[in-house]
Amino acid sequence: MSKVIESDRTIRRLWAHVIGFTILIDVLAFLFHPLGILGTKFFGITPTMYSAPMFLFGIILEISLALVVWLVIRIEKPRDWKAFLRVGPPDLYGMFLFWAFSTIFVGVSALFLQNWLWTPIQDFLQSLGLPGEPQGASLPVPSIQLSPTRAVVGFVLLLLVIWAEVPEEFFFRGYVQNQLQGRYGRLAAVFLGALLWTSMHVGFAPANFVETFCWGIFTMGPVFALRQNVTPNAIMHPLDNRAGLMAIVFLQIFGVSISGAWTYWLVENTALWILALSVVGAWSYHNRKEVKAKLNTSAPNQN
């Protein structure tokens, strides 16, 4: 009987923490996402506006999400926070799975889901008064023209905000999905984790709820379930969102412009893997230095 009561308490505590932290993140996204209430209502930010206020809000959101992850660790008090959040070494196979699932999802959306499902649902929800900004597969090809000087500034600003999805992945996959799969199994955790993750986007794009939810169901959720490592998602999610834009801005430093969806797709994927492999290389180099330092420290002094 006591074991049943203790189990019920554990479940209630789990859901209280998961839902409480998720609501906190939802509020932060509602307020500080560049397309949230403050950005759109008071600064007039739009999805195609790459301005100082947009980057400022991105940095604020990035820091806010990181603080929530820190708060989770402080409250949960794990012995090893990396093991608790399933933060492992870069996993190239997991990163490839993310890219493959994402590419398939975007391709299927472009072939028929966009016209048959995403757009009709979005139009219906917008007719009810719900806003809906392009998300996921609905995002158009970025079309910006910058001078070389502005392109340099824009590229630096993108580097500052590119990692906003890292704490997002640590929370929704490393914490939420990881905790739920221990109680309900991996398949249910993918569904529940994607549902809670989608709630974060409702504050600025409620009309895209279905597409965003399906994005989580068929990309980030399965990658974590299969690899049990949050790092592939934490690397690929931000790069998948911004590699194309970063490539366009970087090339405009040298006066090169990109036009056409097919050309953009090639440039985006090339930039994605250059950036992804650069992160893996930096991680591996840092880890090798740490291992060497530990070996040197533990080695007996020789006179």
Q: Give per-residue pLDDT as tens, 169-186.
A: 999 999 999 999 999 999
Q: What is the pTM of this model?
A: 0.92
What φ, ψ does residue 89 adopt, rounded to 5°? -70, 160
What's the pLDDT score for residue 140?
67
Are 249 and 234 spatial neighbours (Cβ–Cβ below 8 Å)? Answer: no
- Sign of the dihedral through C-alpha 211, 209, 186, 86: positive
* Cα gap 253→155, rounded to integer Å: 9
Query: Would you say residue 6 has pLDDT above 90?
Result: no
What's the pLDDT score for residue 116?
93
The contacts of residue 46 (CB under 8 Å, 6+ apart) are 35, 40
Distances (CA, A) of 235 to 24, 52, 116, 174, 276: 24, 25, 31, 13, 7
Query: Would you say residue 142 has pLDDT above 80?
Result: no
Q: Residue 224 — very low, low, confident or very high, per pLDDT cuts 50/70/90?
A: very high
- Sign of the dihedral through C-alpha 256, 241, 214, 45: negative
pLDDT over 90 percentage in the chain = 63
What's the pLDDT score for residue 138?
60
What φ, ψ does residue 144 adopt, rounded to 5°? -135, 145
Give me the chain's average pLDDT, please: 89
The arithmetic mean of pLDDT across residues 42-55, rounded, is 83
Query: Would you say residue 228 has pLDDT above 70?
Result: yes
Q: Under DSSP, is residue 143 helix (H, G, I), strand (E, B) or coil?
A: coil
What's the pLDDT score for residue 258?
83
* Cα gap 56→70, rounded to integer Å: 21
Q: Residue 139 — very low, low, confident or very high, per pLDDT cuts 50/70/90?
A: low
What's the pLDDT score for residue 3?
55
Task: Average the pLDDT over each of 40-49, 55-64, 240-249, 287-296 and give the range with the smallest value.
Answer: 287-296
The contacts of residue 89 (CB under 8 Å, 6+ apart) are 229, 231, 283, 287
User: Which residue type occupies 73?
Assistant: I
What's the pLDDT score for residue 156?
92
